[in-house]
Amino acid sequence: MSKRMVKNISILSLLFIYTIVYRLYIFERVLKYSEVITAAFLMVLAFISILLLGYKKDKKTQIKQNVTRMTISIIIIFFLISYGLGFFVGFLKNAYSLAPSAICDNLFAPVIIIVSTEIIRYVIISSNKDKKTVIILTTVLLTILELFITLKPLNYADFAGLFKAITATVLPIVSKNIVISYLDFHVGYKSGLVYRLIMDIYMFIMPIVPDLGDYLTSMIGIGLPFIIYIYASRTINEYNNGIERTYGRRTLRWFDIPAYLFLVILICLISGFFPYFLIGIGSESMTPKINKGDAVLIHKVDEPKELKVGDVIAFRLKDKTIVHRLVKIEKDKDKNKTYYRTKGDANNSIDNINLTFDNIRGKVILDIPYIAYPTIYLTEFLNGEK
């Protein structure tokens, strides 16, 4: 085994051990101080990585400058579109304090974590361009650690909540880490670091943020890194073919903005934005109309008159969202209340619950087969059902 491989294994082993310790101890017992502890560890690991593998200077070639400028331009377009949509859908007030001292406190640990993580990623990737297994393993470990840091405690019995966590948090983090590792391999650390420093911390300093909803936000989180990947790969291919040009407005054409806007609006219409939302189905109670593993698009209802017997509705019961058919609407004149009775198509009896209108989230307007299967598999695996 070469000395370089021993050094790689040492660094990755430290990262792996800390990831396990974080999940089993820090996350469970000292969550309040987890960011500071993680920042300190990653800062030390970044120093160790440089000491063992060395730091290859990220030379300022034209290609690296081009990709960095392109990344910044795409982020600017993202902000223009998202805040433009905010004038139609509204804004949310920043939940973080915007006092200067509070901003410094809020940014201190995240900035150290981001910078240290990207130093570690770059040092390992730049030293192992001939060893793709090491690059893949580095990306996987950094992704898992970020997931552990970001994800809050989950109730694995709440399928809708787990589905939301995977689409809103897991997939965007995976997407981001894959693309940043790709950029580190081809053009160095700057573009990936710029992306993370802007996109991961802007919510700490912006007074208002667009109310884009969970599903659109998750789609942006998944799609934006790959938009950067598409443009970066085009620029890299041109450079490899002997075409090196100064990056400017013509490289990222202004007529791309309407295309992105159209894509955002399209995602709004199909992913659960505005009066719609998407959930996955984790049981067979609605077979054969809706099968386990399907995702259903729900249209929110504002008034009781929008509901009729025969509709397939989504309702909230404790901490779960259930999708069953509305089979009876009963009016209790004494209590001046209306109750809604439901039944799964595959069940033998009516559900033993009296729903009120407040329990009902909406009615199903579209069934999308199979796309929730990965979430179901993960849920069952975590619950020991596989």
d(CA 160, CA 320): 7
Q: Are 159 and 280 in contact (CB under 8 A)?
A: yes
Q: Which residue has the tokens 């936000």?
A: 217
Most distant CA pair in the chain: distance in Å?
83
CATH number of 276-374: 2.10.109.10
Q: Which residues pair with residue 342 across a beta bridge?
A: 326
**pLDDT score at 237:** 84
**pLDDT score at 32:** 84
Cα pseudo-dihedral 99, 103, 106, 110, rounded to 10: 170
d(CA 322, CA 353): 12
**pLDDT score at 356:** 92
**pLDDT score at 82:** 79
Q: Are 322 and 280 in contact (CB under 8 A)?
A: no
The pTM is what?
0.64
Please spell the DSSP secondary structure of 292-342, one letter per residue.
TT-EEEEE---SGGG--TT-EEEEEETTEEEEEEEEEEEEETTTTEEEEEE
Q: Are 127 and 53 in contact (CB under 8 A)?
A: yes
Q: Which residues pair with residue 208 across a beta bridge?
A: 93
Q: Which residues pair with residue 323 across a beta bridge?
A: 314
Q: Are 350 and 341 in contact (CB under 8 A)?
A: yes
Q: Is the dihedral of CA 320, 326, 327, 333 positive or negative?
A: positive
d(CA 197, CA 189): 12
The domain ranges of the chain are: 3-271, 276-374
**348 class by beta-carbon count within 10 Å (0-12 exposed, 13-18 middle, 19+ buried):** exposed
**pLDDT score at 158:** 65
**pLDDT score at 128:** 92
**pLDDT score at 152:** 72
What is the residue-level pLDDT of the chain in tens, covering all 386 positions?
788 899 999 999 999 999 999 988 888 888 888 899 999 999 999 999 999 998 877 665 778 888 888 888 888 888 887 777 665 556 677 777 777 888 888 899 999 999 999 999 999 999 998 889 999 999 999 999 999 888 876 665 666 677 777 877 888 999 999 999 999 999 889 999 999 999 998 888 887 777 777 767 777 888 899 899 998 888 888 777 766 554 444 444 554 555 555 555 545 544 445 677 777 788 889 999 999 888 888 888 888 989 999 999 999 887 788 999 999 999 887 778 899 999 999 999 999 998 999 999 899 988 888 777 766 665 565 555 55
